[in-house]
Amino acid sequence: MTIRFDFSGRTAIVTGAASGIGAVIAEEMAASGAFVVASDLDEAALSDVVNGITAAGGRAIAVTADASRAEDAERLVKAAVEQGGGLHLAVNNAGIGGPSAPVGDYPADGWRKVIDVNLNGVFYGMRYQIPAMEAAGGGAIVNMSSILGSVGFANSAAYVAAKHGVLGLTKTAAMEYAQKGVRVNSVGPAFINTPLLSKNLSQEMLDALAGMHPMGRIGTPEEVSALTLFLLSDRASFITGSYHLVDGGYTAP
């Protein structure tokens, strides 16, 4: 199912846009009229996504950038403003899974890397996106958290801590800019069928994960994109500072 919102005249940054959830969000935002500034570390895969968008009649550019570097976040916003005429929308989506180990064995360098990408990256993004959105007359941001922004998961301390941190950062930014025309929300997907999972888990583990959701399956990137696009759209004009789950009932019990 293709979701259509009206983002014509808006410029949008999507990080982690070369794969999985970010790629679908970038494609659906472009199909909804946005000029998409798609960003990722993976230059070749990013270029495939952007070429697909332009072949389908959408408008997008690729900017290779590391979400965990403040100077890259600044450069990305500059590209959006210069080439898109201003910045209106952003999805801080780039993320990594990190090592799997209990806290007592968790590698400190793996901890730092996950916090750098999944939490610091969201701060660096908003640090430069928000002033640009204010200059453009307002905007909306979605920060990609997880169900693991509100519940724990054994052997994933850094990921869980970073995703909980994203919620606090989202709420604080939302309060600070609620009267300045910038809305900030977070999305909490349960397990979603993307390379993040398929690269790291066996089919047996994927089946076990599916069984942890009351719906008996994992989700699709399109299901996460539908919620994200709604939150970015003007239809969500009174929604800010909140955490929105798309989890097949995972957190209901």
List residues with catalytic annotation: 159
Among 194, 228, 233, 240, binds ligand NAP (CB under 6 A): 194
Among 19, 120, 156, 225, binds ligand NAP (CB under 6 A): 19
Q: In Å, how far from its chain's centre is CA 167?
A: 13
Q: Which residues in 132-201 belong to E strands, given as ranges?
A: 139-144, 182-189
Nearer to ligand NAP, 147 or 173 (CB): 147
Answer yes or no whether residue 136 interacts with ligand NAP by CB under 6 A. Answer: no
Among 13, 31, 62, 68, binds ligand NAP (CB under 6 A): 68
CA distance 23 to 173: 25
Alpha carbon distances (Å) from 247 to 39, 148, 190, 217, 240: 26, 11, 4, 10, 20
Nearer to ligand NAP, 136 or 165 (CB): 165
Answer yes or no whether residue 144 interacts with ligand NAP by CB under 6 A. Answer: yes
Distance between the two ends of the chain, CA-based, in angstroms? 29
State which of positions 160-179 bind ligand NAP (CB under 6 A). none
**Which of 32, 160, 146, 31 lies closest to 93, judged by CA?**
146
Nearer to ligand NAP, 151 or 197 (CB): 197
Evaluate whether 17 touches 25 at the Cβ level (below 8 Å).
Answer: yes
State which of positions 75-134 bind ligand NAP (CB under 6 A). 93-96, 117
| Binding-residue total with ligand NAP (CB under 6 A) | 27
DSSP label at 236? Answer: G
Nearer to ligand NAP, 16 or 241 (CB): 16
State which of positions 25-54 bind ligand NAP (CB under 6 A). 40-42
Answer yes or no whether residue 146 interacts with ligand NAP by CB under 6 A. Answer: yes
Stretch that binds ligand NAP, among 28-36, 73-81, 168-176, 190-198 (CB under 6 A): 190-198
Answer yes or no whether residue 211 interacts with ligand NAP by CB under 6 A. Answer: no
Taking residue 196's Cβ as centre, other Cβ atoms within 10 Å add up to 17
Shortest Å distance, C-beta 3 to ligand NAP: 17
Shortest Å distance, C-beta 42 to ligand NAP: 4
CA distance 226 to 244: 12
Answer yes or no whether residue 225 interacts with ligand NAP by CB under 6 A. Answer: no
- For 45, the enclosing helix (H) or strand (E) is helix 43-55
Shortest Å distance, C-beta 179 to ligand NAP: 29
**Which of 55, 47, 3 lies closest to 24, judged by CA?**
3
**Which of 61, 15, 9 lies closest to 32, judged by CA?**
9
Q: Which residues bind ligand NAP (CB under 6 A)?
A: 15-16, 18-22, 40-42, 66-68, 93-96, 117, 144, 146, 189, 191-192, 194-197
